[in-house]
Amino acid sequence: MNRKALAHLTSVDPVLGGLIDKIGPVTIRATRVPVFQSLVQAIIYQQLHSRAADAILSRFEALFGDGHFPSAEQVLAMQPERLRSAGLSRPKTNYIRGIAAKAASGSLPTLKECDKLGDAEIVQRLTEMKGVGRWTVGMFLIFNLGRLDVLPVHDLGVRRGFQIAYGKRKMPEPEHLERFGEKWRPYRTVAARYLWRAADAV
């Protein structure tokens, strides 16, 4: 864990500082998997409990039978109904096929290309694809690229964690959380990880 980040967050926000002291160090590791794989995984996890999404992802990968995450070409070669048999909804199946088409055509940025882009540039490029919204790109930035200043304000876990940590009657609206989180810059990802942990603890 970045000690500088924890010191900053504790100094600007005593409530968050108390949460940090209570929970202790939280590990943040970037997975650095291919962009196509990361986006497909994020699509699968959209609006689902992690256990349900884990099961669907496992069945999705098993469809291809070689023990590896499928390539874009493999996904495109499989019939949509076969993909749906893993538990994917029709919209998610279409989104994944659309991302696969972008990847197969070479128009999806690589990890190395992403490393040269700022967060806002990545959001702009990736959200041009249907089904890839700010939440999906936020998960990509946090978990795949390891960016430290991302606050997924639409994430229910982050909003719920904020409600618990700050003793609020209701979850904050994304706009309120966005404004409040300005004080956490440039370590909003670290703050989000602690809010997730606060939500998980209940």
Whole-angstrom Cα Rg for the chain: 18
Catalytic residue among 13, 115, 119, 155: 155
Cα dihedral sign, 116-120-126-132: positive
- How would DSSP label each residue in 61-108? HHTT-SSSPPPHHHHHHS-HHHHHTTT--HHHHHHHHHHHHHHHHT-S
**How far lies 33's CA from each of 3, 114, 150, 153, 188, in Å?**
26, 12, 19, 24, 22
| Distance, C-alpha 55 to centroid of its chain | 18
Tokens linked to 159: 């909003």
| Listed residue (12, 50, 10) closest to 143, CA to CA | 50
DSSP 173: P
Q: Is 21 a catalytic residue?
A: no
Catalytic residue set = 155
